[in-house]
Amino acid sequence: MQIKHIQSVFKKDALELMRDRRTWFVNIVLPVLLYPVLALVGIQVFQITQPGPEDLPQIGIINAPAEFKELLEFGGEQEDREVEDNKGRKTIIKPSPVLRIKELTPSEASAFQRYLDSEEKSNEESLLALQKIDCSSAIVCHQDADMLNNWRLELVANNAHPDYLLALRYIRQAAVDYQKILLKQRLADSGLSADFTKPAALITNNLASTSESVTTHFLAAFLPVILVLMVIVGTFHPAPDLIAGERERGTLETLLSWPSDRQSIFIGKLLVVIVATIVTVLLNLGSLSITAGIISNQLPSGGNNRMMALSELVNIGPRAIVFSIIALFPITLLIATLSLAVAGLAKSYKEAQNYLSPMVILFTMPSMIVLLPHIKPNMLLDLIPLIGPLVALKACLQGADMAVMHLFISTAASFGIAAMVVSWATTLLNKEQFLFPNIKNISLKQFKQMRQHSPLHGGLEAKLMFAAVLGTFLISSAIFANVNTVVMVSAPLIVGIAIPCLLFVKIGGYDPRQALYFNKPNPMNWAYTILLIPLLILVSGTLGNLQAPYMPENLPEEEMMRNLFNDLTSLGGIPLLVVCVAVVPGICEELLCRGVLLSGFNKSLGPRYAILMSAFLFAAMHMSPYRFVPQFVLGIFLAVVVLRTRSIWPAMVLHFAHNGLLVLGATYVESDPDLQRKLQEAAGGDTVSSTLIYGSIIAFVICASMAAAICHLLKPPPIEAGSEANPA
Partner 1 sequence: MLQLSNVSKQFFDPGRGPVQAVDDVSFAAEHGVVAIVGANGAGKSTLLRLICTLLQADSGSISIAGHDAVDEAELVREKIGLLSPGTKLYPRISGRELLEYAGSFYNIEKNELSQRIEQLTDQLGMAEIIDQRCEGLSTGQSQRINIARCMIANPPILILDEPTTGLDIEAASELINMVQLMNDGERLILMSTHIISEIEELADRVIVLSNGKVVEDCPRHHLGEGMQLKHRIRGLINPAIAAEPTPQSSSSITEQSAENKHAD
Would you tell me which residues interact with partner 1 (CB under 8 A)?
Answer: 4-5, 7-8, 11-12, 15-16, 19-20, 249-251, 253-254, 256-261, 432, 435-436, 438-443, 446, 449-450
Pick 86 or 251: Cβ nearer partner 1: 251
Start-to-end C-alpha separation, the chain:
27
Least Å distance between CB 290 and partner 1? 31
Pick 249 or 520: Cβ nearer partner 1: 249
| CA 71 vs CA 74, 166, 172, 185, 194: distances in Å | 5, 15, 10, 16, 20
**Which residues, listed in sequence order, are joined to residue 93 by a DSSP beta bridge?**
81
Pick 436 or 550: Cβ nearer partner 1: 436
Contacts of 499 (CB under 8 A, 6+ apart): none
Q: Is the dihedral of CA 378, 382, 384, 389 positive or negative?
A: positive
Least Å distance between CB 440 and partner 1? 6
Contacts of 389 (CB under 8 A, 6+ apart): 327, 330, 331, 407, 410, 411, 414
Secondary structure (H, E, C), 207-256: CCCHHHHHHHHHHHHHHHHHHHHHHHHHHHCHHHHHHHHHHHHCCHHHHH
HSE-CB at 98 with a 13 A cutoff on CA atoms is 21
Determine the 3-state secondary structure of 626 from DSSP.
coil
Q: What is the 8-class DSSP label of residue 495? A: I
Q: Buried (b) or exposed (e) across 56-79, using 16+ Cβ within 10 A?
A: bbbbbbbbbbeebbbbbbbbbebe
Least Å distance between CB 480 and partner 1? 44
Q: Helix, strand, coil proportions of the chain in percent (round to 5)?
A: 70, 5, 25
Pick 254 or 554: Cβ nearer partner 1: 254
Pick 165 or 442: Cβ nearer partner 1: 442
Pick 19 or 374: Cβ nearer partner 1: 19
CA dihedral 487, 488, 490, 491 (to 10 degrees): 70
Least Å distance between CB 438 and partner 1? 6
Secondary structure (H, E, C), 418-486: HHHHHHHHHHHHHCHHHHCHHHHCCCHHHHHHHHHHCCCCCHHHHHHHHHHHHHHHHHHHHHCCCCCHH
Least Å distance between CB 206 and partner 1? 57
Least Å distance between CB 436 and partner 1? 7
Least Å distance between CB 524 and partner 1? 32
Pick 46 or 258: Cβ nearer partner 1: 258
Pick 446 or 705: Cβ nearer partner 1: 446
Least Å distance between CB 19 and partner 1? 4
Q: Which of 540, 551, 548, 547 is closest to 700 using CA atoms?
A: 540
Least Å distance between CB 260 and partner 1? 5
Pick 19 or 89: Cβ nearer partner 1: 19
Least Å distance between CB 85 and partner 1? 51
Pick 24 or 164: Cβ nearer partner 1: 24
CA dihedral 54, 59, 60, 64 (to 10 degrees): -110
